[in-house]
Structure 1
Amino acid sequence: MESYWKILLIFAVYWQSILILKQYGILKRFNIDNHGPLLMIRTTKGQKFLDRIASAKSFWRLFGDAGIPLMLFGMFLMFALIIFSDILMVTSLHEQTMPPPSEIHELRNIFLIPGINEFIPVVWGIIGLIVTLVVHEFSHAIMSKAEDIRVKSMGIILVLIPIGGFAEPDEEQLFGIRDKDKGRENEVTPDQKTATRRQRVRILTAGVMANFVTAFVAFVLFFIVIGSIAPVSNVVITDVVLGSPADDIGLTGMTVITHINDKKIENGSVFHAHIASLPVGEVFKMGIKKDGKTSEVLLKPDIEKGGIISGVKFNEIVPGMPGEKAGLVEDTIITRIDDVPIYDTQDFSDFMVNTTSGQEIIIYTIVDNEQINYSITLASHPADGEKGFIGISGFSTLVISRSIGVSVGEYPARELLHFLQMIPNMMTGVAGWVILLVLPFPNPFISFAGFNTSIYMFYEPIGWAVPLGVGVFWLANSLLWIGWMNFYVGLFNCLPMLPLDGGHVFRDTLHSILARLFGNEERMGVIAGKVATGFALLMLASLLFMIIAPKLAHGL
């Protein structure tokens, strides 16, 4: 709550500053308009540069024509997704199965604004947003020039930070401005032209087409880059015991273990097996990676504190389930179930998949270095009523080596990278596109917002990327967010919702269809405008419903 007050205070100071600058004419002096807290910074520079780029008029018109069916397909897809989501939510409300609201339903996470949306990293999000806005608005401006429509100005939109860009084609030429007194379109001077409907649609679809092309190029480059990244290990030190051999040589948490002697350590099970097989009291070499640097250290186990423990740690308990009723607590380590040793998450999964509802099991655990056993009668699994369910989640493999004084956990580095590299192969089906769309957000597949410091420590560049060092991860992050932002903004602008590009294209397309069917161009234009406005209100109501429905269902 305190952070919201800080944001509110910053916003209040910002808005007051705008009012003061406007009062003294400073905004006008620098060609800046404001609409409440929103600033539009204009410039007329760059016209000759636009003319040079737009000189290949045939190419740009072909580019715009290619964007029309793409825009219409995106429009249908987005409309269908929103209506389908609304139907699912209404059904959930009726059947009282609506899941509780999550972070996705928070207002700040609806907007694709880095620093506001908690799922978008600030630096990479800003890079992606800037590229997206520049590409989108420059494409409108270039296409306007190619169609001989004057571009009055270009600029950026600010609300504390850049949230958009704009190009201002001459509205009289692009849309036609009706004379308020005579109720007809203004006359066009001889040196002006009014855009045909086809030209107008080309100009409006150019931004979306450019976003999709940029997204395609960025994603292709992203998948090429991650092809030159390899996992070094899945194993990381999570804790070091004070006064232990590991502590004596300066080992700390968040250190990746790459090998022991000449044995590559790929997962917790291999670490357990190799530590257990070492001769008692013998010094061994451990390869580590910390802060992007690899090295080797020498360790001598403490034979008086021998022993190694492997198991599965869980960090969440489902209320009302057998685990909670039996007294299980979070961060407990499961080492055995009945007579079956549990060394890692795969062992746990293999055991549970063969259980049944009502089956009694004994779970052997370690809690705060104390061994505790629990007798539990399994409930029905929510996803498969025949299988047993303890009511715990958030699993991870944990290995504790008392002789060297470390706790070791696993991160699925190898599995994550393999999944990301397989996404292009999934793009031939619907699943691949859905995964790409929801990738940065919590989802049933995998969540990945880029290689942050706690993730890229598990990887290293290979091949041509070796000279880049850590820069290869920065490059991958930039490409990921440039691609994702362009993809998402392109889809959003396809919505048949004024004043978005898709809304204008929908209105013009409907106008053309109605005029061909019924004639009376002017009247059909009025009808198309009213239908487009109705669709815009419907889309807005649908989006708001998706945000507030989970909160209403749970009385929040």
Structure 2
Amino acid sequence: MYPTELEPASPSEIILIPGVSPTIPLVWGLVGLIVALVIHEYGHGILTRAHGMRVRSFGLLILGLIPIGAFAEPEGREIMRAPRRERQRVFAAGPAINIYGAFIFFIAMALVANTLTPAINGVHAEGIIDEQPASEAGLQPWEVITHANGTIMDDRNDFTSFLDSHQAGDNITLTVLTIADSEGERQQRDINLTLADQYQYQLDLGTDPQIIAAYGIEEGDAFLGVMGLSSNDAGANELAGPLSSSASKDPIPLAVGLAIQPLKLIFNPIDNKGEIMHEQELQLLDSETFLGLEGTMILLHLLFWITWMNVLLGFANLIPILPFDGGHLLRDRLHDYFAFFAKFFPNSHPINVQNTAHKISSMSSLILMGMMILIVALPMLI
């Protein structure tokens, strides 16, 4: 079933505040935010001192007995009188160290994720296609296929090889474990089905035959009728991304994967209602480390949310809106550009250059802020 109308996101879903947004759990979100804020402010403070400017104060923001952030307050007059290039480095230091930190914590998280193993060998499907063999046989999403025609299916590679060895019209028997009940128990059953034709299924969807051929699909290829067929450690592998044990080790895919994987992690809690992976994927994992499954999961959640908050805080602060770091960077960069072109106009005055840079940066901040408010508010008004 598909929704006929998309509901606009509520303000609590859009405002990414721990405990307010359902996307961010309170405890993990606060821990990740505090670590990211401390790293961010340390970056500003270190660069401020490195360029010979004083830091008036540095410390933690406390709500009751709970630290909720950090601050580094440079000497205002000194930073405003500093050369623009040095001032830009100070403003850029916070977001930069957040982004570098995100990569470091991501690597640590990937190492922990790689220690997770399937609790049950087999494969599962995230979705079942209506009126296809799996659906008609009663297979449900997230049920674990452990055997096919009596042969053990350890992972996705085993099962795809099994399907490749069969043709449309073949009858097969799958041994399936149901979704765990409230006590964590699973029931085993056998289901019998007749494989469909994948080529014909694509034609029925209206797919161009040339595109079908480009994907290597031929007439008579076996089709089970499932979506998202995965090994049972897929949740851990998705977190580790290019550093997972099953990922390609070629240098180019590895480098590209490392660059984008921390950004992809932003969508995990959004897609999984505040969890780092789907609830059913969590139930399919185990750990043989000295920490055990519970300890490994605690460490994995800790590293995930620190990575997540560092990515979010780093890139959010680069938005060219005052008083974010990106707004200050935009203002100083505009001043540099205008000062360069002012050399070609003898009547240009430095005060005019400064005023123009300030006006444009302030105007762009207002425009961007208005656009962001409109994006949030418009779906609720329509």
Q: TM-score, normalised by structure 2?
A: 0.66
Greater C-alpha radius of gyration? 1
2:332 matches 1:428: no
2:235 matches 1:416: yes
User: What's the secondary structure of 2:72's corresponding residue?
Assistant: strand
Deviations 1:117-165 (A, max 9, x none): 1112223222211110110112212222222222222344578976643
Whole-angstrom distance in 2 between the partners of 1:290 and 1:423: 33
User: Which one of 34, 40, 44 corresponds to residue 140 of structure 1?
Assistant: 44
**Alpha carbons 2:30, 2:68 under 8 Å: kept:** no
**Alpha carbons 1:426, 1:432 under 8 Å: kept:** no
What is the letter of the counterpart of residue 142 of structure 1?
A: I
- Cα gap change, 1:352 to 1:153, in 2 (>3 Å): farther
**Alpha carbons 1:427, 1:433 under 8 Å: kept:** no
2:335 matches 1:506: no
State the match for 2:285 in structure 1. 459
What is the letter of the counterpart of residue 353 of structure 1?
A: Y
Whole-angstrom distance in 1 between the partners of 2:233 and 2:104: 25
**Alpha carbons 1:157, 1:164 under 8 Å: kept:** yes
State the match for 2:77 in structure 1. 172
State the match for 1:228 in structure 2. 115
Aligned length: 313
Aligned-residue RMSD, C-alpha: 4.6
Whole-angstrom distance in 2 between the partners of 1:547 and 1:502: 21
2:86 matches 1:199: yes
State the match for 2:132 in structure 1. none
**Alpha carbons 2:60, 2:67 under 8 Å: kept:** yes
| Cα displacement (A) at 1:527 | 0.8
State the match for 1:18 in structure 2. none
2:314 matches 1:490: yes
| Cα displacement (A) at 1:531 | 0.7
- Structure 2 matches for 1:318-467, cutoff 5 A? 341=193, 350=198, 353-354=201-202, 356=204, 413-423=232-242, 425=253, 428=256, 432=261, 435-442=264-271, 449-450=275-276, 455-462=281-288, 466-467=289-290
| Cα displacement (A) at 1:440 | 2.6
Whole-angstrom distance in 1 between the partners of 2:47 and 2:34: 20
- Cα gap change, 1:539 to 1:441, in 2 (>3 Å): same
User: Which one of 527, 531, 536 corresponds to residue 356 of structure 2?
Assistant: 527
| Cα displacement (A) at 1:210 | 1.0
Whole-angstrom distance in 2 between the partners of 1:130 and 1:206: 17
State the match for 2:366 in structure 1. 537
Deviations 1:438-493 (A, max 9, x none): 33323xxx88832687643321224xxx1111212211111111112101111111
**Alpha carbons 1:137, 1:207 under 8 Å: kept:** yes
Whole-angstrom distance in 2 between the partners of 1:117 and 1:422: 26
Whole-angstrom distance in 1 between the partners of 2:61 and 2:199: 57
- Cα gap change, 1:434 to 1:202, in 2 (>3 Å): closer
User: What's the secondary structure of 2:270's corresponding residue?
Assistant: coil
State the match for 1:546 in structure 2. 375
What is the letter of the counterpart of residue 428 of structure 1?
A: V
What is the letter of the counterpart of residue 413 of structure 1?
A: N
Larger strand share, 1 or 2: 1
| Cα displacement (A) at 1:221 | 1.1
Deviations 1:266-320 (A, max 9, x none): 58999x95869xxxxxxxxx9xx99999x9x9x9x9xxxxxx564xxxxxxxxxx
Whole-angstrom distance in 1 between the partners of 2:270 and 2:362: 31
What is the letter of the counterpart of residue 168 of structure 1?
A: E
What is the letter of the counterpart of residue 354 of structure 2?
A: G
Whole-angstrom distance in 2 between the partners of 1:349 and 1:543: 48
User: Which one of 35, 57, 65 corresponds to residue 153 of structure 1?
Assistant: 57
Whole-angstrom distance in 1 between the partners of 2:286 and 2:12: 34
User: What's the secondary structure of 2:233's corresponding residue?
Assistant: helix
User: What's the secondary structure of 1:482's corresponding residue?
Assistant: helix
State the match for 2:219 in structure 1. none
| Cα displacement (A) at 1:115 | 0.8
Unpaired runs of 5+ residues, structure 1, are 1-98, 176-193, 237-253, 277-285, 302-307, 311-334, 336-340, 358-379, 387-394, 398-409
Whole-angstrom distance in 1 between the partners of 2:72 and 2:153: 55
User: What's the secondary structure of 1:152's corresponding residue?
Assistant: strand
**Alpha carbons 1:226, 1:476 under 8 Å: kept:** yes
Whole-angstrom distance in 2 between the partners of 1:474 and 1:211: 22
| Cα displacement (A) at 1:352 | 7.9
Whole-angstrom distance in 1 between the partners of 2:16 and 2:340: 39
- Cα gap change, 1:438 to 1:292, in 2 (>3 Å): same
- Cα gap change, 1:125 to 1:267, in 2 (>3 Å): same
**Which of 201-210 and 145-154 deviates more?**
145-154
| Cα displacement (A) at 1:544 | 1.6
**Which of 542-551 and 420-429 deviates more?**
420-429
**Which of 138-147 and 127-136 deviates more?**
138-147
| Cα displacement (A) at 1:396 | 8.8
Whole-angstrom distance in 2 between the partners of 1:120 and 1:349: 43
Q: TM-score, normalised by structure 1?
A: 0.47
2:39 matches 1:216: no
User: What's the secondary structure of 1:509's corresponding residue?
Assistant: helix
Unpaired runs of 5+ residues, structure 2, are 125-141, 163-171, 213-225, 244-252, 344-348
**Alpha carbons 1:507, 1:528 under 8 Å: kept:** yes
